[in-house]
Amino acid sequence: GKIWLDNVHCTGKESSLAACGSNGWGVGDCKHSEDVGVLCSEKRIPGFKFDNSLINQIENMNIQVEDIRIRAILATYRRRVPVTEGYVEVKDEGTWKQICDRHWSMKNSRVVCGMFGFPSERKYNTNVYKMFASRRKQHYWAYSMDCSGNEAHISSCKLGNHLTGTGKNGTCDNGMPAVVSCVPGRAFAPSGHSGFRKAFRQEQPLVRLKGGANTGEGRVEVLKNGEWGTVCDDSWNLVAASVVCRELGFGSAKEAITGARLGQGMGPIHLNEIDCTGFEKSVTDCKFNTESQGCNHEEDAAVRCNVPAMGFQNQLRLSGGRNPYEGRVEVLAERNGTLRWGTVCSHNWGTVEAMVVCRQLGLGFASHAFQETWYWHGDVSADDMVMSGVKCSGTEMSLSHCRHDGAHVACPRGGGRFGAGVSCSETAPDLVLNAELVEQTAYLEDRPMFLLQCALEENCLASSAHNTSLTSGYRRLLRFSSQIHNNGQSDFRPKNGRHAWVWHDCHRHYHSMEVFTHYDLLNLNGTKVAEGHKASFCLEDTECEADVQKQYECANFGEQGITVGCWDVYRHDIDCQWIDITDVPPGDYLFQVVINPNFEVAESDYSNNVMKCRSRYDGQRIWMYNCHIGGSFSEETEQKFDHFRGLTNNNVSAR
């Protein structure tokens, strides 16, 4: 049939899709392969209804509120972000109304705090609020609510007492408006207030979220016997998910996600059939089944938690893009005492910085970072550069939290066309190396130099190889196979299109990425003693899970990539699948493989791109043992394994 709309752009406030901006009815260049769809949430918010399960209530009561908020009353809390204390107010027929506190309980407060992203509630100074309430006329909602305290949302609470009063308004005899005071998680605590610095997370957390695009979402992983593992989604629900969220310093769960929809994990499945009351301090305190027969990583459980409204998304915008998911990055910065929009210097701007921008705007993962944006005409009044020297670690919630130059903006290439840009995506790939296969396939080969001419040309040998005799010389190579899985939610594609791939005549193949993996041998203090690097001359689907179709094949200049649920195998017997250890003396070493080391392609999780093994070399043979993926063990176990804090540089040590 006909395709009616193209380039639809909505603000979210329109009552119909027809009211959104578009090319016009029937104007577009789309095919049916680009047809869009939606998946609606079961919860209708705003506009939720209370669960009215009380006996003797009028049948089919349609008690509905449009919204709920915590309104800061005291000056101290009005100045704070996030708002942690104030009146609980509901919006009823367009008017904000207070709730009478006569039947209000701390259980109700716990549910409201959880909805707004706070793990727990606390007592507050009632005298101050009594004094404040006596000076103002209040508009009370005609009902109360009766929560058990373990609900994820007040729409799951029972309806409380009906207040006396006329019509839609109630009176609160001998009472005052209900107040909640919430305790924020550590990451959201207002600074400079010691009372907020109580840690909800232990120094060694027992639970973590992985692979989520936004703060407070991800696959649930738990620590057991020093090893991280996943949770099977049998019986996974909002109550159990809320225990996880609160344990991590967020509020209650917005969504309990099943079916590995936020990506598959690796390693053991620790918990199954979790049954929580909702009041546990940790999900490990809930009842559960440690037997996970019948479970696999396609059933990994995940959560989306309620997080506090920090207002970060208002400090940043994307301008000039073809859709709301891309554009030039413009930030709100203070200049000469006034707030104004401006651009960000793109010098050293990369995927990690773009990830922070997309997370801050709630747009998912970064798919690309752009260092030139002349083709996106942003707001002319925001052309001036207001931020430079941006360097992010990738975990920040706001670009302003990254290291940057402050008020002294300096940009080597100047502003204008060189403003930083991003494109965002709701999904991302996640590459993980099979550590077991590396351990099983490692061996040494003394290879004659005359068979290594192509490898020498492609920089796959140590620098001393240039001085080795071509006729009588040889190189000692540590060979191994690598099997790289895509456990993410979208295909892994090389950064450059095929027009930019480089033809290598010697090996007769195209390189689609300049560097795809680093292979390093380190001594026990973390200094690199030998290295190899693997340009991805061919990214393809070698094999796939049973129900997944192969899409990428290198033959005949085919499309390159790794499909979700597939893996690419580099066999031990192909060129450059090695480290040249000719100059390495016998001893104990760490062997390390890093996939996508320069973060050229966006992934949902970079921590599992590193694989480490202990290795022992006696001059003739090599042993690999304890091979594991980065982040699969507790910090304590990792530190014992490493004996050092981490690799400080990527240079081979000079001897």
Residues of the domain holding 417: 312-425
Pair of tokens at residue 474? 């040889």
How many domains, in total, are found in the chain? 5
Q: Positive or negative CA dihedral for 460, 466, 471, 473? A: negative
Predicted pLDDT of residue 139: 87
Domain boundary among 306, 323, 358: 306
Report the phi/psi class of residue 285: left, alpha or beta, with left for phi > 0 and alpha for psi in -120 to 50: alpha
Do 592 and 517 lie in one domain? The reply is yes
Predicted pLDDT of residue 305: 95
The DSSP line for 22-39 is -S-TT-----GGG-----
Q: Which residues pair with 517 in a beta bridge?
A: 534, 595
Length of the chain counted residue by residue: 655
Q: What is the pLDDT of residues 505-554, one digit of tens each?
A: 776 677 777 778 889 999 988 899 998 866 656 788 999 988 899 999 88
Pair of tokens at residue 95? 């008017």
d(CA 609, CA 612): 10
In a domain, 190, yes or no: no
Nearest residue to 610 via CA among 433, 417, 356:
433
Predicted pLDDT of residue 382: 83
Do 288 and 329 lie in one domain? The reply is no
Predicted pLDDT of residue 366: 94
Do 529 and 627 lie in one domain? The reply is yes
d(CA 591, CA 528): 10
Q: How many CB atoms lie within 10 A of CB 256?
A: 21
Please check whether residue 175 is in contact with residue 130, taking contact to mean a CB–CB distance below 8 angstroms: no
- Please give the average per-residue pLDDT across 151-162, as a whole number: 83
Predicted pLDDT of residue 591: 94
CATH number of 161's domain: 3.10.250
Predicted pLDDT of residue 627: 92
Do 395 and 375 lie in one domain? The reply is yes
d(CA 223, CA 632): 9
Q: What is the pLDDT of residues 562-580, one digit of tens each?
A: 999 999 998 998 888 999 9
In a domain, 197, yes or no: no
Domain boundary among 150, 173, 196: 173
Continuous segment of H or E residues that includes residue 304: strand 302-305
Predicted pLDDT of residue 32: 85
Q: Which amino acid is at 183?
A: V
Reply yes or no on whether the pLDDT at 330 is more than 80: yes
Predicted pLDDT of residue 56: 35
Q: Which amino acid is at 267?
A: G
Tell me the pLDDT band of 431, cut-offs 50, 70 and 90: very high
Do 589 and 453 lie in one domain? The reply is yes
Nearest residue to 103 via CA among 140, 57, 156:
140
Domain boundary among 425, 460, 481: 425
Predicted pLDDT of residue 648: 37
The DSSP line for 458-524 is TT-S-GGGGGS-TTT-EEEEEE--EEEEE-SSS-B--SS-GGG-EEETTTTEEESSS--EEEEEE-T
Reply yes or no on whether the pLDDT at 62 is more than 80: no
Annotate 32-44 with b (16+ C-beta within 10 A) or e (fewer). Answer: eeeeeeeeeeeee
Continuous segment of H or E residues that includes residue 224: strand 217-224
Do 146 and 265 lie in one domain? The reply is no
Give 300's DSSP letter. Answer: B
In a domain, 349, yes or no: yes
Nearest residue to 517 via CA among 507, 501, 532, 495:
532
Predicted pLDDT of residue 433: 93
The DSSP line for 584-651 is PPSEEEEEEEEESTT--S--S-SGGGEEEEEEEE-SS-EEEEEEEETTSB-HHHHHHHHSSS----S-
The DSSP line for 38-98 is ----SS--SS-B-B---TTSPTT---B-SEEEEE--SHHHHTSSS--EEEEEEEETTEEEE
- Please give the average per-residue pLDDT across 325-333, as a whole number: 92
Q: What is the pLDDT of residues 479-494, one digit of tens each?
A: 999 999 999 999 999 8
In a domain, 194, yes or no: no
In a domain, 519, yes or no: yes
Predicted pLDDT of residue 57: 39
Longest C-alpha distance within the chain, in Å?
103
- Planar angle of CA 85, 91, 92, nearest 5 degrees: 145
Do 124 and 3 lie in one domain? The reply is no
Continuous segment of H or E residues that includes residue 453: helix 453-457
In a domain, 298, yes or no: yes
Do 556 and 440 lie in one domain? The reply is yes
Tell me the pLDDT band of 52, cut-offs 50, 70 and 90: very low
Least confident of 25-34, 157-166, 379-388: 157-166
Q: Which amino acid is at 436?
A: E
Do 500 and 621 lie in one domain? The reply is yes
Do 377 and 229 lie in one domain? The reply is no
Reply yes or no on whether the pLDDT at 50 is more than 70: no
Please check whether residue 632 is in contact with residue 229, taking contact to mean a CB–CB distance below 8 angstroms: no
In a domain, 187, yes or no: no
Mean pLDDT across the chain: 84
Reply yes or no on whether the pLDDT at 201 is more than 60: no
Do 72 and 10 lie in one domain? The reply is no
d(CA 464, CA 52): 79
The DSSP line for 112-177 is HHHHTT-SEE----HHHHHHHHHHS---EESEEEE--S--SSGGGSEEEEEPSSSTTEE--TT--B
Do 328 and 418 lie in one domain? The reply is yes
What pTM was computed for the model? 0.81
Predicted pLDDT of residue 167: 52
Contacting residues for 36 by C-beta, under 8 A, at least 6 apart: none
Least confident of 4-8, 152-156, 198-202, 211-215: 198-202
Q: Which residues pair with 615 in a beta bridge?
A: 589, 624
Predicted pLDDT of residue 391: 94
Tell me the pLDDT band of 47, cut-offs 50, 70 and 90: very low
Tell me the pLDDT band of 199, cut-offs 50, 70 and 90: very low
- Please give the average per-residue pLDDT across 241-269, as a whole number: 92
- SS3 of 557, please? helix
In a domain, 189, yes or no: no
Nearest residue to 295 via CA among 254, 264, 334:
264
Please check whether residue 420 is in contact with residue 330, taking contact to mean a CB–CB distance below 8 angstroms: no
Higher-scoring residue by pLDDT: 390, 195: 390
